[in-house]
Structure 1
């Protein structure tokens, strides 16, 4: 069997299940370990069969000391696994959403300041972190300085929230917002934020476009042969 273990719950776990369904034809067993420590604990007690493979979706941002320490432990466990465990080279689920080239047009956001910040931050990503030396826009630097506990992952989550405030695009709840994976995007309440204009209505096609985006494809090129 092939397994994909994630620390994500809620919308992040839902995302990986949709990836499994639409990209891997449900060939993977997708499981949430609920935290990065949960992944480590599961690997420590792992008793893998000869044919088993494990893909680990572990959020890695080196500007968080605790995560850096846990990632070091993860790599040590992987080295002992005889190539049965593979770490997916990713920052976090929210980075996939933030880097998606259709995010602005699909969500219909009118926040020009946040659109500029998104551009600055994406251009400054290097080695799983935001390289602040690459940002010269004072508005963006002021935004980043406002985090009491700064880390690249916290910035990603916060900025994605700015673009997905409409509940139908939200990636904070128990599932991804309906607009990501269903056939339409309709604001049902007159006070709802606008939904934007995806060029396709079909829910599966929208998710395929997200999954086939460059940053996600870098991560999930898993061998899905039987």
Structure 2
């Protein structure tokens, strides 16, 4: 049996379940461990049965010391598993959404300042962190300086939240916003300034396009 374990709950867990349904034809058993510590605890107690494989969606950034410490423990467990535990190359679920090239036109966000910040940040991602030396724009640097407890993951979560404020495209609730995976087109409501206009309305097709994006495929190719 193939398992995919995630620390995500809510919309993040829903994202992995949709991937399993649409891309893997429900081949995987998707389980949330609730947190990165929950993931480590579950792996520490794990007795791997013959034929089982575990794919670990662990949110990893190098500018958070606690995450780095836990990642070292996770890596040690994986190295002793004889290839049965595979750590996916992942920053976080929100990063996969943020890199999607249809994010801005589909959501219809009018936040020009945040769109510019997104572009600056994505161009500065390097080795699971934002390389601040690659950012020259003063407004982007001010935005990053505004985080009390700065980390690349916190920036990703905050920025993607601002770009998906419309509840139809939200990735912050118990489920992903319904326009990611249902047949809907919120441009039917022209009075809403944040309405986007996807070129496709079919829910499964929109989700397939997200799944086929470069960042998501980089992760899924390890499974």
Instruction: Give the CA deviation at 1:190.
Output: 8.4
**Structure 1 unaligned regions, length at least 5:** none
Q: Which residue of 2 aligns with 1:207?
A: 207
Q: Cα RMSD (Å) of the superposition? A: 1.4
Query: Is 1:8 aligned to residue 11 of structure 2?
Result: no
The TM-score normalised by the length of structure 2 is: 0.97
Structure 1 residue runs of 4 or more that deviate by more than 2 Å after TM superposition: 185-195
| Number of corresponding residues | 223
What is the rounded CA distance, in whole Å, between the counterparts of 2:83 and 2:150 in structure 1? 34
Q: Which residue of 1 aligns with 2:151?
A: 151
- Does the Cα contact within 8 Å between 2:61 and 2:151 map onto a contact in 1? yes
- Does the Cα contact within 8 Å between 1:187 and 1:193 map onto a contact in 2? no
Instruction: Give the CA deviation at 1:184.
Output: 0.5
The TM-score normalised by the length of structure 1 is: 0.96
User: Can you list the C-alpha shifts for 1:102-154, whole angstroms capped at 9, x where unaligned?
Assistant: 00000001111111100000000000000000000001000000000000000
What is the rounded CA distance, in whole Å, between the counterparts of 1:126 and 1:157 in structure 2? 17
Residue correspondence of structure 1 range 91-130 to structure 2 within 5 A: 91-130=91-130
Q: Which residue of 2 aligns with 1:81?
A: 81
- Does the Cα contact within 8 Å between 2:110 and 2:193 map onto a contact in 1? no
What is the rounded CA distance, in whole Å, between the counterparts of 1:32 and 1:170 in structure 2? 20
Q: Which residue of 2 aligns with 1:218?
A: 218
**Structure 2 unaligned regions, length at least 5:** none
**Change beyond 3 A, Cα 1:109–1:123:** same
